[in-house]
Amino acid sequence: MAVPADLRDWIDLLEREGELVRVSAEVDPDLEITEIVDRTVKAGGPALLFENPKGSRHPLLINQFGTERRMCMGFGVERLDDIAARLEDVLEMQPPEGLIDKVRGLKKLKSIADSRPKTVSRGACQEVVLTGDDIDLGVLPIQRCWPGDPAPFITLPAVITKDPHTGGRNVGMYRMQKIDARSTYMHWQIHKDGRADYLATDGKIPVAVALGLDPITAYSASAPLPKHIDEFMLAGFLRGEPVELVRAKTVDLEVPANAEIILEGTIEKAEVGIEGPFGDHTGYYTPEEPFPVFRLSAITMRRDAVYPSIVVGKPPQEDQWLAKATERIFLPAVKLTVPEIVDYDLPVAGTFHNCVIVSIRKSFPGHARKVMHAIWGLGMLSLSKAVVVVDAHVNVHDYEEVFFYVGANVDPKRDIVITEGPLDHLDHAPTLQFFGGKIGIDATAKGPAEGTREWPEEIEMSEEVRTLVDRRWSEYGIPAHGDGGVVQNGSRRGLRQLLRR
Ligand SMILES: Cc1cc2nc3c(=O)[nH]c(=O)nc-3n(C[C@H](O)[C@H](O)[C@H](O)COP(=O)(O)O)c2cc1C
Ligand SMILES: [Mn+2]
């Protein structure tokens, strides 16, 4: 399935699929859009194109990622797991045996080679170039999202920097609070690559911000890749064609040619100011804190540029699907390091750093604890506050089933690990910022090898009787309730399998 080439192509696709509503009424980016989007997201509603945001002639696109279906459409897949399958294919490559294997291997290698961004000489993102006194962020319909926010925030940017020592590119999504017509703060949290690039600079660091991208490239800015991997390369791999870049006009960086809007500028290492508060994805206002100041040297854009935005807040919000995409896309990489992991789930209500549920093929005493510590040592998963470990057959996406095993298999005195380590920048619960307690819950079955009594057998109907009842179901004359298939397919886990994505 072809993926959208740029934001316009994506808007067209959404519209053709009945997934977009144009709002022509004048609507205020100051709070009003948030309330509309909050209701729309929670109702599983469409993407919204506000054609007349108050005070701006640029339309505002929001809720483009707000449902699983749209997320899949943006990635050109049927299910989010299909994206992971492609990555797994490459990660699990073995030395080829025989000719067919070799040809297949070469194809895979080519798909990696073709992922590298490609520099082109012209880009639609530079149809209009504004420098000097012409730079004015006031032309964009930047949202003030929540009543306690002191200013408007750019919320869906792809922020591009280069490591001052290696020259390697990094792309990240970090909110940007507007200070005035020509400057913003840059919310580079302590654990992020963007911040590391900034800290590695002596004087000032060039920064470019792309707004309004095709969905995969926009997503890639939020992906937690290891520092030395260029997020545009991941975008190229997932798109099946390279991200095209043009040279920025006033800084030594390349920017996506197909973007709607580019902000160019620099950040002086020494120049920080007080950012926030901001109504964040934790469901709370993150307090004021010092962050660097981004000073613009140019705005370039398409003539009729569309401005993209997103609202975060108490979950569920639109960002849940960006995070779910990451959960699915990164599963093969997680399994590569910890192969006993069958699946994992980061509940939306846990705002993604509060809880990880993980199922494992347990094969030795203490195995659940090994996996907890592996997660606490793995990339951004290391910031997880709670890790719940269940056996391989448990569906980690079915929270009721997980709760059953947490209740049934756990002796709190024996099976709880309390430890401490790094915590998310935004977590307000620990006594200290960035550092505090963690909990691991071992809800796997145990046994004498782990010092317990004999573990009892779980109740399961025999396959023979289930097949019999399947065959005879219509004879019983019992009406199927709810989704008829659930009962008739005879599986105890029928409903759970339906819930499973
Ligand atoms: C909508 C949205 C807003 C985000 N805002 C921030 C932010 O303000 N600061 C931050 O450090 N990370 C933020 N993140 C998370 C980062 O984008 C994510 O951790 C990414 O991997 C960072 O890239 P990096 O590791 O290359 O620095 C946000 C993510 C999303 C989806
Ligand atoms: Mn990165």
Ligand 1 proximity of 185 Cβ (cutoff 6 Å):
no
Residue 498 is predicted with a pLDDT of: 43
Give the per-residue SS3 of 326-374.
HHHHHHHHHHHHCCCEEEEECCHHHCCCCEEEEEECCCCCCHHHHHHHH
Largest CA distance in the chain: 81
Ligand nearest to the Cα of 380, by number: 1
Ligand 1 proximity of 193 Cβ (cutoff 6 Å):
yes
What pLDDT, in 10s, does the model give residues 446-462?
999 999 999 999 999 99
Residue 496 predicted with pLDDT over 60: no
Residue 101's pLDDT band (boundaries 50, 70, 90)? confident
Q: Which two tokens stand for residue 367?
A: 């195995």
Would you call the peptide bond into 277 cis, given omega within 30 degrees of 0 as the criterion? yes
Reduced to 3 states (helix: H, G, I; strand: E, B; else coil), residue 121 is coil
CA distance 224 to 172: 9
What pLDDT, in 10s, does the model give residues 54-81?
999 999 999 999 999 999 999 999 999 9
What pLDDT, in 10s, does the model give residues 303-316?
999 999 999 999 99
Ligand 1 proximity of 64 Cβ (cutoff 6 Å):
no
CA 279 to centroid of ligand 2, rounded, Å:
24
The phi, psi pair for 254, rounded to 5°, reads -110, 145
Residue 1 is predicted with a pLDDT of: 66
In this structure, is the dihedral angle defined by the CA atoms of residues 72, 8, 193 and 152, taken in order, positive or negative? negative
Enumerate residues 6+ apart whose C-beta is below 8 A from 67. 19, 44, 321
Ligand 1 proximity of 172 Cβ (cutoff 6 Å):
yes
Average pLDDT of the chain is 94
Residue 90 predicted with pLDDT over 90: no
CA 398 to centroid of ligand 1, rounded, Å:
27
Residue nearest to atom 7 of ligand 1 (CA): 174
Residue 260 is predicted with a pLDDT of: 99
Residue 175 is predicted with a pLDDT of: 98
Q: Which two tokens stand for residue 314?
A: 């108490």
Ligand nearest to the Cα of 229, by number: 2
CA distances from 119 to 143, 233, 258 (A): 32, 13, 12
Transcribe 421-461 into DSSP letters: EE--TT--SSSSSSEEEEEEEE-S---GGGT-SPPPPPP--
Q: Which has the closest alpha carbon to 234: 348, 73, 90, 71?
A: 90
CA 309 to centroid of ligand 1, rounded, Å:
14
Residue 2 predicted with pLDDT over 60: yes
Residue 410 predicted with pLDDT over 90: yes
CA 230 to centroid of ligand 1, rounded, Å:
15
CA 196 to centroid of ligand 2, rounded, Å:
10
Residue 500 predicted with pLDDT over 50: no
Which residue type sits at 64?
Q
Ligand 1 proximity of 322 Cβ (cutoff 6 Å):
yes
CA distance 224 to 193: 9
Ligand nearest to the Cα of 223, by number: 1
Q: How far is CA 156 from the centre of its chain?
A: 12
Tell me what percent of the chain is helix, strand and coil, each rounded to the nearest 5: 35, 25, 40
Residue 282 is predicted with a pLDDT of: 97
- The atom number, within ligand 1, closest to the CA of 172 reads 23
Residue 482 is predicted with a pLDDT of: 56
Q: Which has the closest alpha carbon to 49: 64, 38, 57, 60?
A: 60
Ligand nearest to the Cα of 193, by number: 1
- The atom number, within ligand 1, closest to the CA of 173 reads 17
CA 410 to centroid of ligand 2, rounded, Å:
38
CA distance 111 to 237: 7
DSSP-assigned letter for residue 315: S
User: Annotated active-site positions, please?
Assistant: 280
Ligand 1 proximity of 157 Cβ (cutoff 6 Å):
no
Ligand 1 proximity of 187 Cβ (cutoff 6 Å):
yes
Residues of the chain with pLDDT > 90: what percent? 89
Token pair 């809720």 is found at 63
Helices 68-75/7-16 angle, 10° precision: 130
Angle at 63 between CA 83 and CA 495, to 5 degrees: 55
Q: How many residues does this entry show for the chain?
A: 501
- The atom number, within ligand 1, closest to the CA of 224 reads 21
Residue 497 predicted with pLDDT over 50: no
Reduced to 3 states (helix: H, G, I; strand: E, B; else coil), residue 62 is strand
Angle at 373 between CA 371 and CA 374, to 5 degrees: 60
User: What long-range pairs does 362-370 form, CB within 8 A, spacing at least 24?
Assistant: 362/391, 362/392, 362/444, 362/445, 364/449, 365/449, 365/450, 366/450, 367/340, 367/444, 368/440, 368/442, 368/443, 368/444, 369/417, 369/440, 369/442
User: What long-range pairs does 447-453 form, CB within 8 A, spacing at least 24?
Assistant: 449/364, 449/365, 450/365, 450/366, 452/411, 452/414
CA distance 320 to 346: 10
Would you call the peptide bond into 206 cis, given omega within 30 degrees of 0 as the criterion? no
Residues of the chain with pLDDT > 70: what percent? 96
Residue 89's pLDDT band (boundaries 50, 70, 90)? confident
Token pair 């960006």 is found at 322
Average pLDDT for residues 3-23, to the nearest whole number? 98
Residue 489 predicted with pLDDT over 80: no
Q: Note whether 49 and 20 are within 8 A (CB).
A: yes
Ligand 1 pocket check: which of 64, 160, 211, 222 to mutate, most ligand atoms within 8 Å of Cβ?
Answer: 222
Q: How far is CA 209 from the centre of its chain?
A: 18
Average pLDDT for residues 419-426, to the nearest whole number? 98
Q: Is the pTM of this model over 0.85?
A: yes
Residue 486 predicted with pLDDT over 50: no
What pLDDT, in 10s, does the model give residues 185-201?
999 999 999 999 999 99
The phi, psi pair for 241, rounded to 5°, reads -155, 150
Ligand 1 pocket check: which of 174, 187, 198, 230 to mutate, most ligand atoms within 8 Å of Cβ?
Answer: 174
The residues facing 398 across adjacent strands are: none
CA 256 to centroid of ligand 2, rounded, Å:
16
Q: Which has the closest alpha carbon to 220: 203, 202, 234?
A: 234
- The atom number, within ligand 1, closest to the CA of 175 reads 8
What stretch of H or E contains 160? Answer: strand 158-162
Ligand 1 proximity of 170 Cβ (cutoff 6 Å):
yes
Residue 176 predicted with pLDDT over 80: yes
